[in-house]
Structure 1
Amino acid sequence: MEYVQERVTTLHALTDHRPAAPTGRAAVVVPMTEREYGTLAADRVLTALETVDPARVVVPLRAAPDRVGPFADWLDGFDVDVETLWCGGPRLTELLASRGLDGSRGKGRDVWLGLGRALDEEFVVVHDADTKTYSPAFVSRLLFPLANDHEFSKGYYARVEDNSLYGRLFRLFFRPLVRALGDATERREPSIMEYLDAFRYALAGEFAATTDLVSRCRIQRGWGLEVGTLGEAFAHAGFAESAQVDLGRYEHDHRSVDGPTGLADMSRAVGAATLRAVEGAGVAVEYDALADRYREAAERLIRGYETDAAFNGLDYDRAAEREQVETYADALGEPGPDTRLPAWRTAPVTPSEVADAAQADLAAARESHADAAARPPEESDRRQSAEEAPETGTGED
Structure 2
Amino acid sequence: MEYVQERVATLHAFSDRVPDAPTESAAVVVPLTEREHASLAAERVLTTLERVDPARVIVALRASEDHVATVTRWLDSFELAPDVLWCNAPEVRERLGEVGLNGPAGKGRDVWLALGLAAQEEYVVVHDADATTYSRAHVPRLLFPLAEGYDFSKGYYARVENDRLYGRLFRLFYTPLVRALDEGHEDDVVDYLASFRYALAGEFAATSELVRSLRAQRGWGLEIGTLGDAFEGAGFDGSAQVDLGQHEHDHRAVGGPQGLGDMCSEVATALFQVVEDAGLQPAYDRLRERYRAEADRLVRQYETDAAFNGLEFDAAGEREQVETYADAVQPPAEDTRLPAWRDTDLDPAAVRDASDEGLDRTGSR
Short-chain TM bin: over 0.9
- Match for residue 37 of structure 2? 37
SS of the residue corresponding to residue 334 of structure 2 reads coil
Question: Corresponding residue for 1:332?
Answer: 329
1:67 alignment partner in structure 2:
67
Q: Structure 2: which 5+ residue stretches go unaligned?
A: none
Give 1:348 deviation, angstroms: 2.6
**Residue 248 in structure 1 maps to residue 274 in structure 2:** no
Counterpart residue number, 1:79: 79
Q: Which has the higher mean CA deviation after the structures are superposed, 31-40 or 52-61?
A: 31-40
Alignment of 1:269-284 (within 5 A): 269-284=266-281
Do the aligned residues in 2 keep the contact of 1:31 with 1:59 (CA within 8 Å)? yes
**Structure 1 residue 288 displacement after superposition:** 2.3
* 2:285 pairs with 1:310: no
Larger Rg: 1
1:47 equivalent to 2:44? Answer: no
SS at match of 2:156: strand
- In the alignment, is the contact (CA less than 8 A) between 1:68 and 1:366 conserved in 2? no
| Alignment correspondent of 1:391 | none
Q: Which residue of 1 aligns with 2:100?
A: 100
- Paired residues of 1:56 and 1:81 also in contact (CA < 8 A): no
Which amino acid in 1 is paired with 2:122? E
State the partner residue of 1:228: 225
Give the equivalent residue in structure 1 for 2:294: 297
Instruction: Give the counterpart of 2:285 among 284, 288, 291.
Output: 288
> Does residue 1:147 correspond to 2:147, yes or no?
yes
Secondary structure in 1 matching 2:27: strand
Aligned-partner Cα distance in 2 for 1:303–1:118? 43
Q: Secondary structure at the match of 1:243?
A: strand
Q: 1:206 aligns with which of 203, 206, 212?
A: 203
**TM-fit CA distance, 1:236:** 0.7
1:343-389 C-alpha deviation (Å, 9 max, x unpaired): 0001131100101111111110117xx9xxxxxxxxxxxxxxxxxxx
Identity %: 61
Decide whether the 8 Å contact of 2:214 with 2:340 is kept in 1: yes
**Deviations 1:42-97, CA, capped at 9 Å, x for gaps:** 11111100000000100011101121122112212212241100011111111101
Query: Which of 245, 255, 261 pairs up with 2:258?
Result: 261
1:4-61 Cα offsets, whole Å, 9 max, x none, are 0001000000011110000000000000000122221111111100000000100011
> Displacement of 1:119 after TM fit?
1.2
Residue of structure 1 in register with 2:358 after alignment:
361
TM-score (norm 1): 0.90
What CA deviation, in whole Å up to 9, does each residue of 1:100-137 have, x standing for no partner? 00110000000000111101100011011111011110
Contact (CA 8 Å) 1:55, 1:81: kept in 2 or not? Answer: no
CA distance in 2 between counterparts of 1:288 and 1:90 reads: 42
RMSD between superposed Cα atoms in Å: 1.1
Deviations 1:291-339 (A, max 9, x none): 1010011111111111111111111111111110000001111102210
In 2, Cα distance between equivalents of 1:106 and 1:176: 26
Match of 1:380 in 2: none
Secondary structure of the residue that 2:96 maps to in structure 1? helix
Aligned residue for 1:208, secondary structure, equals: strand
Question: How far, CA to CA, are the matches of 1:291 and 1:172 in structure 2?
Answer: 13
8 Å contact from structure 2 (residues 25, 121) kept in 1 = yes
Equivalent-residue separation in structure 1 for 2:89 and 2:285 (angstroms):
43
Unaligned runs of 5+ in 1: 371-397
**Equivalent-residue separation in structure 2 for 1:81 and 1:280 (angstroms):** 40
Distance of 2:298 and 2:194 partners within structure 1: 13
Partner of 1:238: 235
The answer as to whether partners of 2:75 and 2:81 remain within 8 angstroms in 1 is no
Displaced runs of 4 or more, over 3 A: none
Contact 1:48 1:135 (8 Å CA) reproduced = yes
Q: Which amino acid aligns with 2:259?
A: G
- Mapped contact 2:133–2:247 kept (Cα < 8 A): yes
8 A Cα contact 2:200 2:223, kept in partner: yes
Secondary structure of the residue aligned to 2:243 is strand
Alignment of 1:117-128 (within 5 A): 117-128=117-128
Please identify, of 303-312 and 20-29, the stretch whose mean Cα deviation from structure 2 is larger.
303-312
SS at structure 2 position matched to 1:356: helix
Query: Retained in 1: the 8 A contact 2:193–2:227?
Result: yes
**Cα separation, 1, equivalents of 2:334 and 2:262:** 17
Query: Aligned-pair distance for 1:206?
Result: 0.5
